[in-house]
Amino acid sequence: MRSTTDLDLQSPARRHRHHAARRWQRDDLDARLAPASTGAAHRGQSRAVPRVRDARPDDAAAITALANALIPSTTYTWTERLEPVAERAAWVDARQSAGLPVVVAVEPDDDADVLGWASFGDFRDTERTPGYLITAELTIHVREDRWGRGVGRALMAALEDRARAAGKKVLVAGIDASNERSIEFHRRLGFVETARMPGVGELRGERLDLVLLQRDVGADR
Ligand SMILES: CC(C)(COP(=O)(O)OP(=O)(O)OC[C@H]1O[C@@H](n2cnc3c(N)ncnc32)[C@H](O)[C@@H]1OP(=O)(O)O)[C@@H](O)C(=O)NCCC(=O)NCCS
């Protein structure tokens, strides 16, 4: 009898995602097992807490590279199209002009070295249905060579501050169900899974499931 895992791995895309996920899980384990004092040296990486600042126009190329990085090899972002830098730059400008945050994490001693970025926007159409104004949907991306080093946590803290300041009460993350790393990351940061929507997406001929997680950020709850 075939195991669930065998059944799950019938398509090449699923096999690819499975192996990629296993690789990242191994990396996580390596990072967690490494002693805190020597782990960074072992991996040749800095553990310094990153600085988070508003994105600038000259960050557009780095933000685009991060946004595009996993598109060819995963289903984490439901598109096959690699975004041009100019388009992402316009998106950053439009968001910031609308008072929405786009923030980047940088090395404390290198303001131009972008380690990750994050943003939030409307969860649903707030013009037609302003009742959704209290909720925002976030997106967060950390450079793969810095995963597991606290960059995501720092970006999320900044997003939550901005969300509170903007009067938001709930942050929502919509995550591809195969992206177990991201789901675990959000859980660790206090998000709770509130929906699992089977087959609501399709990419490269494969139906995709969406997981919604949310966290209250308002002061009044
Ligand atoms: C998900 C992502 C943002 C996490 O960023 P990160 O910088 O690696 O996360 P951090 O190092 O700040 O981890 C924060 C906490 O989550 C935990 N965590 C992160 N990944 C984890 C995993 N795979 N399993 C268990 N815990 C995990 C960390 O242990 C840490 O907890 P701690 O501080 O209590 O030890 C990053 O992996 C990423 O950019 N992934 C690709 C893009 C993506 O999936 N974006 C989300 C779509 S909305």
Per-residue tokens: 62: 């780095």
23 or 54: whose pLDDT is higher? 54
Query: Average pLDDT, stretch 104-125?
Result: 96
Domains of the chain: 48-216 (3.40.630.30)
- 20 pLDDT more than 50: no
Atom of ligand 1 nearest to the CA of 76: 44
- 99 pLDDT more than 50: yes
Which residue's C-alpha comes closest to atom 42 of ligand 1? 141
CA 210 / ligand 1 centre spacing (Å): 18
Write down the pLDDT at residue 49. Answer: 86
Of the ranges 18-22, 25-29, 119-123, which one carries the lowest mean pLDDT score?
25-29
Q: What does DSSP say about strands 192-203 and 102-107: parallel, antiparallel, or unpaired?
A: unpaired
Name the burial class of residue 14, with classes exposed (0-12), middle (13-18) and buried (19+) by CB atoms within 10 angstroms of its CB: middle
Write down the pLDDT at residue 220. Answer: 55
- Within 8 A by CB and 6+ apart from 117, the residues are 55, 59, 62, 63, 66, 102, 103, 104, 105, 140, 141, 155
- 73 pLDDT more than 90: yes
